[in-house]
Amino acid sequence: MKSSAASSRQTMTAWAFLAPTLIVMGLFQFLPILGAFGMSLLDYFPDSPNNRFVGLENFARVLRDPAFWEALKNSVLYLLVVPVVVGLALALALLVEPAIPFMNTFRACYYVPVVTMMVVVAYAWTLVFNTDNGLLNQLLVKWGAAERGIPWLTSEGLALWTVMTVTVWKGLGYYMVMFIVALKAVPKELTEASRIDGANPVQGFANVTIPMIWPTVTLVAIISSISALQVFEEIYMMTNGRVGTSTLVYEIYTTGFDMSRGAIDFGQACAMGVLLFVVILGFTVFAVKRMQGAYGTT
């Protein structure tokens, strides 16, 4: 049994170790988080500060704003990247699973986009998707697949999908590695047993492997959903929110910081932030519940 003096000294030490983190997090995370909820209830225009309490007026204004609904629609549409990411990343993981020479090099190549900054990824893909001189359109025309360049990034209805493919492309390697780890943990005996029982590889995969890696499928789906709902850089770089590609975060950014789009309105931007938080939280809880239910207790 420790003496009480020793244990109180240990308590002191513990708080001393935690102090730098608690100061940083308290000041630069918890305080601004509380501030955001508070500011969402204020009239807060930095150009004409009065900081009056207006209740839910900011939320009402956001909900009346067609630009917000457009952004919300796009953000929800953006969630379509999730099933694509899960499917392709899992397929890639299966593809690089066999231990053959140079396999690490292949894995590394697929992983390069993950370590590359999004700003550059977006720029490189802009060079590929440009209408007149982009690589893709040049190839399509050359091969006779298109008569003239397709406006990948400049036409309403198409641009958002183009940007979504870039998001998928950048994240694949990361989720692939998560699936590689999960697949490695599936006991060989189980897959072999199902083969001996006469199941073909597809059946074995669906009935043995998938349930075994379901926690990782869930995790990948949730992480990629959260980042899909927070997409910003690819939009900022590739379309600047034009041609129907504005998303929630892009809308928060322009409301809070882009003077070319009219007066900056911190109160309304914070209200949108609160709504973003609610959307992410709600969606995550919903997804976790649904996906855990699929295979009982995972």
45-84: contacts with other proteins (CB under 8 A):
none
Judge whether 271 and 62 are in contact, CB under 8 Å: yes
- The footprint of other proteins on residues 102-161 (CB under 8 A) is 103-104, 106-113, 115-121, 123-128, 133-135, 138-139, 142
C-alpha count within 13 angstroms, C-beta hemisphere, residue 255? 25
The angle that helices 159-184 and 118-129 make with each other, rounded to 10 degrees, is 130
Strand 52-53 relative to strand 42-43, pairing: antiparallel
The angle at the Cα of 233, spanning 58 to 254, to the nearest 5 degrees, equals: 30
Residue 200 Cβ vs other proteins, minimum distance, rounded to whole Å: 21
Residue 197 Cβ vs other proteins, minimum distance, rounded to whole Å: 29
- The footprint of other proteins on residues 186-225 (CB under 8 A) is 215-216, 218-219
The angle that helices 248-257 and 66-78 make with each other, rounded to 10 degrees, is 140
In DSSP notation, 23-39 reads HHHIIIIIHHHHHHHHH
Q: What is the rounded CA–CA span in Å between residue 298 and residue 287?
A: 13
Tokens at residue 192, please? 């072999």
Does the protein bind other proteins through residue 291 (CB under 8 A)? no
Judge whether 236 and 250 are in contact, CB under 8 Å: yes
Among 205, 236, 283, 295, binds other proteins (CB under 8 A): 236
Q: What is the rounded CA–CA span in Å between residue 120 and residue 113?
A: 10
Nearer to other proteins, 82 or 252 (CB): 252
- The footprint of other proteins on residues 166-185 (CB under 8 A) is 169, 173-174, 177-178, 181-182
Say how many residues touch other proteins, by CB under 8 A: 90
Element holding 52 (H helix, E strand): strand 52-53
Nearer to other proteins, 193 or 263 (CB): 263
Name the residue among 123, 117, 151 with its Cα closest to residue 136: 151
Residue 172 Cβ vs other proteins, minimum distance, rounded to whole Å: 8
Listed ranges 23-31, 50-58, 59-67, 145-153: which one lies at the site for other proteins (CB under 8 A): 23-31
Nearer to other proteins, 16 or 196 (CB): 16
Nearer to other proteins, 37 or 197 (CB): 37
- The footprint of other proteins on residues 243-282 (CB under 8 A) is 248-249, 252-253, 256-257, 266, 269-270, 273-274, 276-277, 280-281
Residue 186: exposure state from Cβ atoms within 10 A (0-12, 13-18, ≥19)? middle
Residue 274 Cβ vs other proteins, minimum distance, rounded to whole Å: 7
Judge whether 179 and 220 are in contact, CB under 8 Å: yes
Residue 125 Cβ vs other proteins, minimum distance, rounded to whole Å: 5
Among 31, 60, 145, 146, binds other proteins (CB under 8 A): 31
Nearer to other proteins, 30 or 193 (CB): 30
Nearer to other proteins, 63 or 139 (CB): 139
